[in-house]
């Protein structure tokens, strides 16, 4: 699997992303600067976490309008796989490659902790190594992870199996108490219509080493390698 990682001013989890991609695929991703208008030919484009443009105005807003994102949108249309994590997810919604928006966490505070997540759809190129309903643990680290979309959109997402992950408890129970940021319907990650674009708030790339306290994140990367190699 050949991959590229997009860098914006203020991106800060690129090395975490690179480490995870390299561990899973055996090859180093190419780095692409935000000003580029053309992308290398790759199987996967990853938009990592961070604070592009300081999260000023709205998180992901300015990065969403950058030249490279037009190229990413073209690639998305052409069916190339794209994953946005945390700030990457915010950028994908700002670019309208994914529906909805990520608002300030309901409790208004930044939150960094290991979170339990329920795999809602295990039949995607990003999640095939998991079982449907499986509970995995990835860390979250965000201030604006409160997923919002109108109820029509939410119904559509659910109806089309496009909710990839939800916040739950250790036993997989999805409830208001397990909703760590106020997201509509506990949504932690969603897919686009074609299923080739995934956006998610949690950080699978920070759960790939036993010394991270768990390796649940590996499944996501190995799913992609299997599907895209």
What lies within 8 Å, CB to CB, of 217 at 6+ separation is 20, 136, 138, 203, 204, 205, 206, 207, 208
Kindly state whether residue 106 participates in binding other proteins, applying the rule CB under 8 A. Answer: yes
Residue of 28, 41, 65, 77 interacting with other proteins (CB under 8 A): 65
Kindly state whether residue 205 participates in binding other proteins, applying the rule CB under 8 A. Answer: yes
Among 72-80, 88-96, 129-137, 218-226, the segment contacting other proteins (CB under 8 A)? 88-96
In Å, what is the CA distance from 221 to each residue of 13, 18, 127, 201, 216? 16, 11, 8, 16, 10
In Å, what is the CA distance from 44 to each residue of 80, 122, 171? 6, 19, 32
What is the rounded CA–CA span in Å between residue 199 and residue 85? 6
Kindly state whether residue 104 participates in binding other proteins, applying the rule CB under 8 A. Answer: yes
Clarify whether 205 is annotated catalytic.
yes
What is the rounded CA–CA span in Å between residue 10 and residue 128? 32
Closest CA to 29 of 99, 83, 100: 83
Clarify whether 203 is annotated catalytic.
yes
Give the residue with the Cβ less far from other proteins, 2 or 104: 104
Residue of 143, 162, 166, 218 interacting with other proteins (CB under 8 A): 143
Among 45-53, 74-82, 122-130, 188-196, the segment contacting other proteins (CB under 8 A)? 45-53
Contact positions vs other proteins (CB under 8 A): 9-10, 12-13, 15-16, 19, 49-51, 53-58, 61-62, 65-66, 93-94, 96, 99-101, 103-113, 139, 141, 143, 146, 148, 150, 182, 203, 205-206, 208-209, 211-212
């Amino acid at each position: 699997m050949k991959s590229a990682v997009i860098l914006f001013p203020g991106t800060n989890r690129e090395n975490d992303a690179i480490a995870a991609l390299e561990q899973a695929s055996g090859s180093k991703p190419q780095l692409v600067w935000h000003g580029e208008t053309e992308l290398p030919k790759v199987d996967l484009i990853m938009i990592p976490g961070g604070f592009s443009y300081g999260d000023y105005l709205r998180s992901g807003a300015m990065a969403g309008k950058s030249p490279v994102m037009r190229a990413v949108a073209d690639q998305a249309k052409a069916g190339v796989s794209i994953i946005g994590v945390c700030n990457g997810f915010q950028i994908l919604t700002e670019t309208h490659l994914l529906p909805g928006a990520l608002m300030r966490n309901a409790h208004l505070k930044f939150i960094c902790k290991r979170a339990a997540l329920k795999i809602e759809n295990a039949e995607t190129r990003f999640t095939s190594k998991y079982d449907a309903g499986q509970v995995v643990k990835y860390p979250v680290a965000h201030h604006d992870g409160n997923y919002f979309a109108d109820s029509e959109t939410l119904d559509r997402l659910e109806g089309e199996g496009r909710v990839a992950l939800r916040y739950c408890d250790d036993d997989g129970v999805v409830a208001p108490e397990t909703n760590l940021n106020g997201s509509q319907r506990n949504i932690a990650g969603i897919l686009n219509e074609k299923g080739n674009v995934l956006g998610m708030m949690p950080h699978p790339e920070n759960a790939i080493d036993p010394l991270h306290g768990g390796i649940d994140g590996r499944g996501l990367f190995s799913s992609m390698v299997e599907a895209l190699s």
